[in-house]
Every structure is written in C-alpha cells, then in structure tokens.
Amino acid sequence: MFWPDTISKILDVKYPVIQAPMFGVSTPRMTAAAAKAGCMGSLALADLSAAQSAELIRETKKLTDQPFAVNIFVHHIPELTDSLREKFVKTKQSITLFAKENNIEVNLPDPEEIKVNGYHEQIEAIIEEGCKILSFTFGNLDDKSIQKLKDNEITLIGTCTSVEEALILEKSGIDIICVQGIEAGGHRGTFDADTIPEIGGMSLFSKVYDHVKVPLIYAGGVYNGKTLRAAKELGAQGFQVGSILLASYESALQPFEKERLKNVSEKDIVLTRSFSGRYARGIKNKYIETLENSAYILPYPYQNKLTNELRRVSKTLKNTDFVGIWAGQSIHDYSELSTEDILEKLIHQAEIIF
C-alpha cells in the first residue's frame, strides 16, 4: 500500500493529500473539487470576519458533503501606536505616488479606516457551523481556544517552519503538524513575521520528524509523483499541495495572472514582504523590486490592508507589475484543468512510481 493511512483516518479522506488553503486563490469550488478527488479540501478564511467566514463555510457545504478543513490566520496584531500611524501615512503617500507614476489611480485607506480582525470570533463561527477540521498558520492558538475546539471534537492542524515551532505546537496538543519548507509558495507560516527560517523542506522535515511524535504533513515543492514520493520516504503521512492548483479551473486567479505563471522562470520567484508585511514567495515584479528594500513596509497586517486596494485596481487593469502572484519554487506547466483532474493525476503518478 503506497498511501500512509494515519492522517487519512483522522481526516476521513481516501488520500492524505491536502489542497493548500491559498487565500485569494482557492475558492469553495476548489475545496469541493479536491474533496471529489478523494483528497482534503481546505477553505481559506484568513482573517475574515465571523459573518464572512460563516457565509463561505455554508457556500462550501452546498457544493460538497465531504469533510473539508477551514483555515485561519492566528497572527499577532501590533498596536497602532502614534509612530506606526505616522509611518502608515508616509507609506500610503509613497505607494500612492508610485502607483500614479505608473498610471494607476488608487485611493488607499487611512489608518482609521483599517479593520483588523482577530481569530476568536472566527472560532465561534467555525464551531457554530459544525466544522470538524481546523488548520491555522502564522502562530499558535491560545490555550483557551485549543481547549474549546477540542471540547467540540475539532481536529487541529498547525503550521511550522522550524523545529522550535513544531515543538510548541506539539506541546500545545495540536493533533497534526504541517511542515512548510522554504520552497512553498505564498506566505510563510512562521510565527514571527519579522524572521524567516531559511531551511529547505526536506532538511526541515527530517529534523521535525526526529523531534515530534504527532503525524506530519509535508508542504513545499510537491508538484508531481516523484516529489510526493520523496516526501513519503522522509516519513510524511500527509502531503499539502498548492502551486500545482494555481491555474486550475476553480482558481480565483484571472486569465492574465495565469498567463504570467506560464511564462515564469526560476529567477522570477522571490521572497518578499512588500505587499503584506510578511514574507511570501511569489513572482517578482516592478512593485516588489521597488518596495522590497525601502522604508515603506508596515508590519503585518497593516501593509496587507493598505495595499489591498492597489492590488484590486491593478487586477482590473490587468497589470502584473502591481499584483501579488504567489508561487512556489517548483516551476511546472500550471495546468488549467479542474482541481479534481490535477489531483487525480498527481495521485496516479505517485502510485505508478510505487
């Protein structure tokens, strides 16, 4: 038997393959399509309000009767001090001017207009909606929330990017740990937004495997049967995939963004804090090159909230130089088939190699 069954049994899925929760890319349709392939679909709720989270959960339930995970951000929210407010205003002015110089007229928000949500209200909505699998990233849940979720028989999946983070998650009673290597596309799951453990997935996974006893999911660079098998050989009991689904039929990316993916090269894939204030891996563009080493990057989530409107307007203009297209290091053909077909092909490749 090729597929490890520990995580499959815990999550009640046929295959221990998890569709990554890519906020802004994954959709309820993608979650449902992953479930249709016998995999674990993930619904990205990020830092949405409780009402928005509940609405997306209900929408997904209309599309599938199979189990799926909901994913939230558990980041630390810095206080909006006078000095941070001053930097916010300067950053807004700089980015607005930079956009205008590139023929983009955008009305970015003031500090007082920024709405930042914590995760506690989301947890209440998740419990009320009867969700049974919760994954999270950017940190760890507080003890009270963990106990409340466990009291409601919800399986918890935490994300680590270092051995230290893995040990914290295990000690807290988290059921499954997703080990995210530096190869992975999108935002790093690192607890501290200002640091970035620069360790590859294979090396990191081997270390985590030697230090914790809970089941582990490997994430970062899996795009075909060979890469999935390599993770299995290291002891992975689950496999999270994201970048292979970026151009899928159910992806929220627009055609011009999918076209940019198909023309990407190795030198184009970089880590950047310029859009959100947190390190994320994606395709280098004019905005990233200009902002990355500037003084105009606010701490997460303020940078993220500030640049949301810039990215929205740039999408309407089909301007790839001012949108964040997140992608991992494993460059491939970025299939536009359905999520179900892409995952079934991955599963078949892995089984054929076995």
Q: What is the DSSP letter of 131?
A: -
Give residue 44's pLDDT band: very low, low, confident or very high (50, 70, 90): very high
Q: Which CATH class for the 1-77+116-246+335-354 domain? A: alpha beta
CB atoms within 10 A of CB 103: 8
C-alpha 53/C-alpha 28 separation (Å) is 12
3-state secondary structure of 209: helix
Q: Rg for the chain (alpha carbons), in Å?
A: 19
Q: What is the mean predicted confidence (pLDDT) over 137-154? A: 98
pLDDT at 121 over 90: yes
Mean pLDDT to the nearest integer, 335-348: 98
Angle among Cα 3, 214, 65 to the nearest 5 degrees reads 55
pLDDT score of 354 more than 70: no
pLDDT score of 210 more than 90: yes
- Is this model's pTM higher than 0.95 or not? yes
Contacts of 75 (CB under 8 A, 6+ apart): 47, 138, 139, 193, 278, 300, 301
The pLDDT assigned to 222 comes to 97
- Of the given ranges (9-13, 197-201, 220-224, 292-296), which has the lowest mean pLDDT? 197-201
Q: Is the pLDDT of residue 137 over 70?
A: yes
Please tell me the predicted confidence (pLDDT) of residue 198: 85
The predicted model gives 336-342 an average pLDDT of 98
Give CA separation, 112 vs 15, 274, 298, 300, in Å: 46, 21, 15, 16
> Residue 347: in which H helix or E strand, if any?
helix 339-353
Confidence of residue 1 (pLDDT cuts 50, 70, 90): confident
Inform me whether the pLDDT recorded for 353 exceeds 80. Answer: no
pLDDT value at residue 99:
98
Which of 13-17, 77-81, 102-106, 141-145 shows the lowest per-residue confidence on average (mean pLDDT)?
Answer: 77-81
Q: Where are the domains of the chain?
A: 1-77+116-246+335-354, 79-115+254-324
* Bridge partners, residue 43, by sequence: 70
Over the stretch 62-117, which tens digit does the pLDDT of each residue have? 999 999 999 999 988 999 999 999 999 999 999 999 999 999 999 999 999 998 99
What pLDDT band is residue 194 in, cutting at 50, 70 and 90?
confident
Task: Give the chain's mean pLDDT.
Answer: 97
Tens digit of each residue's pLDDT (9 = 90 or more) over 25-39: 999 999 999 999 999
> Is pLDDT at 202 greater than 90 in this prediction?
yes
Percent of the chain with pLDDT over 70: 100
> Which pLDDT band holds residue 195 (cuts at 50, 70, 90)?
confident
Mean pLDDT in residue range 156-177: 98
**pLDDT higher than threshold 80 for residue 24:** yes
Report residue 335's pLDDT band, with 50, 70 and 90 as the boundaries: very high
Predicted confidence at residue 196, as pLDDT, reads 84
